[in-house]
Amino acid sequence: MISIEKITIENVSRRNFLQGLFSAGAFVLSVGKAPLLARAARNGAPVGATPTGASPSIDTTAFHPGVFVGIETDGTVYIVAHRTEMGNGVRTSLPRILADELDADWNRVKVIQGDGDERYGSQDTDGSHSVREFFDTLREAGATARLMLVRAAAQQWGIPESQCVADPVHVVSDKSSARKLGYGELAALAAKLPVPKKEELKLKSPQEWRYIGKPAPGADVSDICSGKPLFGMDVRVDGMLYAAIAHPPVLGGKVKSLDDSATLRVTGVKKTIPIDPFTTPHAFQPLGGVAVIADNTWAAFKGRNQLKIEWDNGSHAVYTSSEYKKQLQETARQPGKVIHTVGDPDAEFAKGGKIVEAEYFAPHLAHASMEPPVAVADVQGDTVTVWSPTQNPVGVQEEVAKALGLKKENVTCHVTFLGGGFGRKSKPDYAVEAAVLSKKTGKPVKVIWSREDDIKFDYFHSVAALYLKAALDETGKPKAWLQRSVFPPIGSTFDKDAVYSGAGEMSQGWNVSPFDIPNFRSENGQATAHIRIGWLRSVANIYHAFAVQSFANELAYAANRDPCDYLLTLIGSGHMVDAGAQGPPGTAEKYPYDTARLRRVAELVAEKANWGKRTFGKGSGMGIAVHRSFLTYVATVVEVEVDNAGAIRIPHVYTAVDTGIVANPEMVRQQFEGAAVFGTSIARTGEITATNGSIDQSNFFDYPVARMNDAPYQVDVHIVESTAPPAGVGEPGVPPFVPALCNAVFAATGKRVRELPLARNGFS
Amino acid sequence: MIHFKVNGNAQTFDGDPEMPLLWYLRDLLGLTGTKFGCGMALCGACTVLQNGKAIRSCTKQMGTVAGLEITTIEAISAHGPHAVQKAWADVNVPQCGYCQPGQIMQAVSLLSSTPKPSDDDIDSAMAGNICRCGTYQRIRAAIKEAAKERA
């Protein structure tokens, strides 16, 4: 088991709290990953139905926490997606796992979005672990419901259970005759049965899977394509006010003086409200500043532009990223904190011989999800309802409760669709802003961040300076390898004194090497953060893979070897890497780091790309990189054409992925196609800089992201068939893409990119 | 008082003439299919049709809409899914989906002026519409499929 939490399944068909949600005969199983001890606290409270005041066009129907599957008497199967949909496909992939074991007809399944509630187990949709963590739970839930339906049929017919089978879908058949009973017909009877013990369940063999491993399109495609109000930005609540906030330009800044007279003259502006500065550490608290409250979004934005605020910028006004870069690079040249050592690299380096060194640099990045942060909150006495695009609904409950001095249980968080998340929407500061303003106005308040707010006041992906050194033997293979990474850590968001990396960032492609090298050491140098640092899709893997895979490519050329052959030599024939914990207890045992799987994806991608069998003209070439992240093995080949002016075209990308068992290959392909585009944005133009503590960029003209004509023309995704446990797919495509592209640029032009983005190197 | 049409319905407006059409549609009419992405006509999430041609509603001021016919994503499927929407579903284009109404409106506009678009036509028509999830490859395929469907 990956998790120490217990899967608890209860028959809740007769519970009062379901009244109004299901008809009297419905069969409902509650499935939680934590013990259901907390249930009593909420029992009896009316839960569900449309929240007061919500516009009827928004489907905000709440479902009782812990309810994973319900079968109506008409045969409709309701399955809760308790994790966040942001393009990751969880509203399709997760319910289909349960529907498979249930032998439900997917066309008769309705997916319901779960509210925030810790009894579901983790809802924090980041770290590429939705399928990984809930695969077993969902299968068990589906198999439990199926067995209860089978038992209901056996009882109805008065025949042994062994004579009944759920076949083909949505019905139970009597093996000895042609009679059948539909799931809807069996619901009322199944609802009266006790929940079978886990030992009684018979999970399907992979050969019997109906949906798992089979491609399926997104469950919500037609709603999305017809412009239905699905997103946080679309939430409208009766009587709601709109707010735009002038945030302090420097982290920790405070309002010194405010003149809002021009603002208050703007048509539609109601008032201005100061928001308290945070107490250090900032964590997920609002940044402070001044809110403009208006009766529409435009008036709020226009009014905000008219504010005259003098700021007390505070201590972080020292932050100028061009100066900071020099400090990071200097730190990276000095010995750092030792993270992991194999053999004795210093002894090997001391012997001399061929030594290669290189320094790499990767700047801050902003998430820039298409939907900027937004939330609606309605505070009524000591209860709060929040509608928010959030990756972290329990975090919303906790942070709102903390800010308003309430109990977490008093905060309901309805999770909308997310217009992209990429890690930004795990941080609920914007939902707290809405709650604080609702309390102060006595009305529901929608806080809307503009694109400028989003870019300037992000939790930024960290800037990193990296130093690598290798001693090569006579064949050009490393005898010793040193890698040192320096960046302001994510921990600084939660502890102002944190200057060293946490275990998480070090486990992201840095603490250990996938390569077969006898003497190895990884190090980390200290750095102080001056802006909010947070996780962004793939996190530290981005700069770590960029450095390691670029350096491996440099060593290949230094050894006069083909880069792909050399990479395979570095990996070797395959060995187990002791990578430490890698996640919750049990993860390392369930997901051993096996470089034979890394080698296999490298070989597969080389074969698919016809590596070594193609000839390239001037300005064209291919690059390769491999990386294991989020327990998934990926190899990527990027093909480029670079013209004389340095303009890069990416005609083809080939990716091979081994992520263990795949829930929905269609979603896996989408994630890896998307990762190539996300990686293109990072590699070509991704760069956030700061001057005197303020972020220099503000919108897509100075923080460009990949457009159709910049993006790879064709991305082919090759999925390795595997019986290993499912790992994760949302993030692992990004890290190898960036160095594969830079390595391709080297192959095409002879120009080595050691500093991201490519735009800093004369390319566009 | 400004007179114009939205999705075939006559509308009037006498508010702030600087208000972008986007916020009028979203906040005043409740037509939230048209999305906010950048406010500077840089991302295309807010694309609507003005007399059948794609425009960015985030920079179109209400003071300039007199006499215009505006069409939003909500209206193009009034009589069942539009060929572009069907192609979008067939190719399973969306990931998060937030930019897709704008992408679809831009594609509808492209196909009405260029029924058989080449790759270059598609690039130049669609380059103003950003998708952060990176669905461009599928968008291109869906436009080609819709073109075939309409031929």
pLDDT (tens digit, 9 = 90+) per residue, A286-296? Answer: 999 999 999 99
Check if B143 contacts A (Cβ < 8 Å): no
Residue A240 sits in a domain whose CATH number is 3.30.365.10
Is the CB of A227 less than 8 angstroms away from the CB of B74?
Answer: yes
Whether the pLDDT of residue A39 is over 70: the answer is: no
A-chain residue closest to B61, CA distance: A298
Domains, in order of start, for chain B: 2-76 (3.10.20.30), 83-150 (1.10.150.120)
The residue assigned the tokens 């997760």 is A94
Q: Tell whether A3 is covered by a domain.
A: no
User: Is there a single domain that holds both residue A465 and residue A431?
Assistant: no
Number of domains in chain A: 3
User: Is there a single domain that holds both residue A336 and residue A398?
Assistant: no
**Tokens of residue A200, six digits:** 């009684």
Is the CB of A229 less than 8 angstroms away from the CB of B32?
Answer: yes
Instruction: Report the C-alpha dihedral over residues A596, A602, A603, A606, rounded to 10 degrees.
Output: 180
Sheet with B9-13, strands from edge to edge, namely B9-13, B2-6, B69-71, B47-50, B53-56
Is the CB of B81 less than 8 angstroms away from the CB of A715?
Answer: no
Q: Which of B27, B33, B74 sits opposite A297 (nearest CB)?
A: B27
| Pure H helices in A391-489 | 393-404, 429-441, 451-456
Q: Which of B16, B96, B139 sits opposite A267 (nearest CB)?
A: B16
**Segment A17-26, tens digit of pLDDT:** 666 678 888 9
Is the CB of A701 less than 8 angstroms away from the CB of B42?
Answer: yes
User: Is there a single domain that holds both residue A436 and residue A334?
Assistant: no
Q: Tell whether A510 is covered by a domain.
A: yes
Q: Tell whether A453 is covered by a domain.
A: no
User: Is there a single domain that holds both residue A164 and residue A242?
Assistant: no
User: Is there a single domain that holds both residue A115 and residue A164?
Assistant: yes
Rounded to whole angstroms, what are the CA distances from A435 to A123, A132, A230, A284, A375? 21, 33, 21, 13, 9
Chain A: nearest CA to B67, how far in angstroms? 22
Q: Tell whether A713 is covered by a domain.
A: yes
**Segment A146-192, tens digit of pLDDT:** 999 999 999 999 999 999 999 999 999 999 999 999 999 999 999 99
Check if B135 contacts A (Cβ < 8 Å): yes
A582 SS3 class: coil
For residue A677, give its domain range.
Answer: 321-365+459-761
Residues in A touching B44 (Cβ below 8 Å): none
**Segment A439-468, tens digit of pLDDT:** 999 999 999 999 999 999 999 999 999 999
Is the CB of A233 less than 8 angstroms away from the CB of B35?
Answer: yes
Is the CB of B123 less than 8 angstroms away from the CB of A422?
Answer: no
Check if B63 contacts A (Cβ < 8 Å): no
Distance CA A673, CA A608 (A): 16
Mean pLDDT of A659-667: 98
Whether the pLDDT of residue A505 is over 80: the answer is: yes
Check if B34 contacts A (Cβ < 8 Å): yes
Q: Which of B15, B74, B94 sits opposite A224 (nearest CB)?
A: B94
Last residue of a domain, one of A210, A225, A240: A225
Whether the pLDDT of residue A41 is over 60: the answer is: no
Is the CB of B37 less than 8 angstroms away from the CB of A709?
Answer: no
The answer to whether the predicted template modeling score (pTM) of the entire model surpasses 0.90 is: yes
Last residue of a domain, one of A387, A414, A448: A448
Whether the pLDDT of residue A56 is over 70: the answer is: no
Q: Tell whether A274 is covered by a domain.
A: yes
The pLDDT value recorded for residue A24 is 84
User: Is there a single domain that holds both residue A545 and residue A464?
Assistant: yes
Which has the closest alpha carbon to A369: A307, A423, A308? A423
Mean pLDDT of A631-660: 98
Q: How many CB atoms lie within 10 A of CB A200?
A: 12
User: Is there a single domain that holds both residue A37 and residue A161?
Assistant: yes
Is the CB of B123 less than 8 angstroms away from the CB of A222?
Answer: no
Check if B80 contacts A (Cβ < 8 Å): no
User: Is there a single domain that holds both residue A118 and residue A242?
Assistant: no
Alpha carbon A494 to its chain's center? 19
Check if B39 contacts A (Cβ < 8 Å): yes
The pLDDT value recorded for residue A22 is 83
Whether the pLDDT of residue A244 is over 80: the answer is: yes
**Tokens of residue A539, six digits:** 């996190």
User: Is there a single domain that holds both residue A269 and residue A202?
Assistant: no
Residues in A touching B20 (Cβ below 8 Å): 298
The complex's ipTM works out to 0.98
Q: How many CB atoms lie within 10 A of CB A751?
A: 14
Percent residues over pLDDT 70 in chain A: 94
Percent residues over pLDDT 90 in chain A: 89
Is the CB of A231 less than 8 angstroms away from the CB of B77?
Answer: no
Using pLDDT thresholds of 50, 70 and 90, give the confidence band for residue B13: very high
**Segment A356-406, tens digit of pLDDT:** 999 999 999 999 999 999 999 999 999 999 999 999 999 999 999 999 999
**Segment B118-149, tens digit of pLDDT:** 999 999 999 999 999 999 999 999 999 999 98
Is the CB of A713 less than 8 angstroms away from the CB of B137?
Answer: yes
Is the CB of A298 less than 8 angstroms away from the CB of B40?
Answer: no
Is the CB of B16 less than 8 angstroms away from the CB of A677?
Answer: no
**Tokens of residue A109, six digits:** 């399944």
**Amino acid identity of A517?**
I
Residues in A touching B108 (Cβ below 8 Å): none
Check if B41 contacts A (Cβ < 8 Å): no
3-state secondary structure A272-341: EEEECCCCCCCCCCCCCEEEEEECCHHHHHHHHHCCEEEEECCHHHHCCHHHHHHHHHHHHCCCCEEEEE
Residues in B touching A228 (Cβ below 8 Å): 33
User: Is there a single domain that holds both residue A303 and residue A327?
Assistant: no
**Amino acid identity of A159?**
I
Is the CB of B93 less than 8 angstroms away from the CB of A221?
Answer: yes
- Higher local confidence (pLDDT), A51 or A713: A713
Check if B37 contacts A (Cβ < 8 Å): yes
Q: Tell whether A621 is covered by a domain.
A: yes
Q: Tell whether A1 is covered by a domain.
A: no
The pLDDT value recorded for residue A50 is 28
Rounded to whole angstroms, what are the CA distances from A425 to A89, A514, A726, B23? 16, 32, 24, 23
Using pLDDT thresholds of 50, 70 and 90, give the confidence band for residue A585: confident
User: Is there a single domain that holds both residue A200 and residue A349?
Assistant: no
Last residue of a domain, one of A195, A225, A255: A225
Kindly report whether the peptide bond that precedes residue A95 is cis, defined as omega within 30 degrees of 0: no
User: Is there a single domain that holds both residue A300 and residue A332?
Assistant: no
Using pLDDT thresholds of 50, 70 and 90, give the confidence band for residue A6: low
Residue B51 backbone phi and psi in degrees, to 5: 50, 40
Residues in B touching A297 (Cβ below 8 Å): 23, 26-27, 36
Residues in A touching B94 (Cβ below 8 Å): 87, 218, 220-221, 224-225
Check if B17 contacts A (Cβ < 8 Å): no
Is the CB of B130 less than 8 angstroms away from the CB of A700?
Answer: yes
